[in-house]
Amino acid sequence: MPFRFPVKFELPKHCYINARVLKDQFKRLQVAEHEVTRKALKYIARNTELPAKARLEAQLQLAAMPKYTCQTQIRDRCVATGHSRSVISDFKLNRTAFRNMARANQIPGVQKASW
Amino acid sequence: MPKALRYKTGKEMLPRIFFQKISTTELHIHENLHRPHPCTSSILQFPLLLYFSPTMSLLKKVSQAQIRQVKQLSAQIFGESYNPDNIRNGAKVLAAPLKGPAIASYYGDNNSTPTFKDFKQWFPELKLVDPKEEYRVMMVALRKKRNKGAPKKKTS
């Protein structure tokens, strides 16, 4: 059976696995791989001191790059549930997962607030 | 009591002047009357040239070209970029730090800690059993037996 993504990668072992999580992980790996190329192309496209033809070519090449190399496609997901909404970035957890873990004293230094 | 002998109460007792609004500008002027305005302090009355060279006359003005040269030299010395006309040269694209490694390691490093599967692989003689996985596999087998398993994946 063929791998469902263009490039084969190792599945993450220490978080909740989901089809969406796998998609996101694939995108992240591809973004990291193509980051330098994309940055170089963006620099050429944005530099007004370079000849217009080079800038245009760079812009076209940037647009032709696969969309899974774009940073804006990435979405932070909850590491415990795979949910992408209400994710607290400091803990990489969804608000409900955070609450459950915090109440079970599994997050160090977090207790019920009262002041 | 007859109407003519009605006494004044509360608001009616205070004279009308108390309800006039005192403007805030008036208050500020009053506060700073005894303090001189900061712009008129003595130190800024001398031109900044005083600190450049002893041969320069205090009355001679510095040209814009000279100031530009100084700024350019300063940037060269300290290894900074110099772009006085704010030309869009894409420097900010290059100046931003790379975020690739941090993004790729969001879901954790696989080699940081071993999992149950790793232990099973390393010590097959121990015949380790994960109770939750065992239960799941048992339920899937039972469902398949009574024709309630997952439907076949559509190929097209």
pLDDT bin (cut points 50, 70, 90) of residue A1 is: confident
- Per-residue pLDDT at B45: 45
What is the rounded distance in angstroms from the CA atom of residue B107 to the CA atom of residue A75? Answer: 12
Q: Give the structural domain span for B127.
A: 119-145
Structural domain contains residue B135: yes
Structural domain contains residue B24: yes
- Per-residue pLDDT at B9: 59
Structural domain contains residue B81: no
Residue type, A106: Q
Structural domain contains residue B69: no
- Per-residue pLDDT at B115: 94
What is the rounded distance in angstroms from the CA atom of residue B121 to the CA atom of residue A89? Answer: 34
Structural domain contains residue B92: no
What is the rounded distance in angstroms from the CA atom of residue B35 to the CA atom of residue B3? Answer: 57
- Per-residue pLDDT at B3: 57
Q: Could you give all domains of chain A from N- to C-terminal order, each with its CATH number?
A: 17-73 (1.10.287.1480), 76-110 (4.10.830.10)
Residue type, B60: K
- A50 → chain B, closest CA residue: B89
Q: Which domain-ending residue is among B51, B68, B84?
A: B51
- Per-residue pLDDT at B16: 54
A38 touches chain B (CB under 8 A): no
Q: Is the pLDDT of residue A49 over 70?
A: yes
Chain segment A54-103, per-residue pLDDT in tens: 999 999 999 999 999 999 999 999 999 999 999 999 999 999 999 999 99
Indicate the residue of B94, B104, B115 with minimum beta-carbon distance to A29.
B104
B49, B60 contact by CB (below 8 A): yes
What is the rounded distance in angstroms from the CA atom of residue A46 to the CA atom of residue A44? Answer: 6
For range B125-131, the mean pLDDT: 95
For range A27-55, the mean pLDDT: 98
For range B36-56, the mean pLDDT: 51
E-strand stretches of B12-133: none
For range B127-142, the mean pLDDT: 96
Chain segment B71-84, per-residue pLDDT in tens: 999 999 999 999 99
Q: Which candidate in A11, A26, A28, A31 is best for mutational testing of the B interface (most B CBs within 10 A)?
A: A28
Structural domain contains residue B140: yes
What is the rounded distance in angstroms from the CA atom of residue A110 to the CA atom of residue A99? Answer: 10
DSSP state, residue A93: E
Structural domain contains residue B25: yes
Structural domain contains residue B44: yes
Q: Is the pLDDT of residue B52 over 60?
A: no
pLDDT bin (cut points 50, 70, 90) of residue B155 is: confident
* Yes or no, beta carbons of B104 and A31 under 8 Å apart: yes
**Bridge partners of A94?**
A87
- Per-residue pLDDT at B60: 84
Indicate the residue of B88, B98, B112 with minimum beta-carbon distance to A35.
B98
What is the rounded distance in angstroms from the CA atom of residue A45 to the CA atom of residue A53? Answer: 10
Q: Is the pLDDT of residue A12 over 70?
A: yes
Q: Please give the tally of structural domains in chain B.
A: 2
Interface of A with B in 5-34 (CB under 8 A): 10, 12-15, 21, 25, 28-29, 31-33
Compute the Cα dihedral for B84, B85, B86, B91 and give only its sign: negative
pLDDT bin (cut points 50, 70, 90) of residue B28 is: very low
pLDDT bin (cut points 50, 70, 90) of residue B49 is: very low
Indicate the residue of A32, A35, A43 with minimum beta-carbon distance to B94.
A43
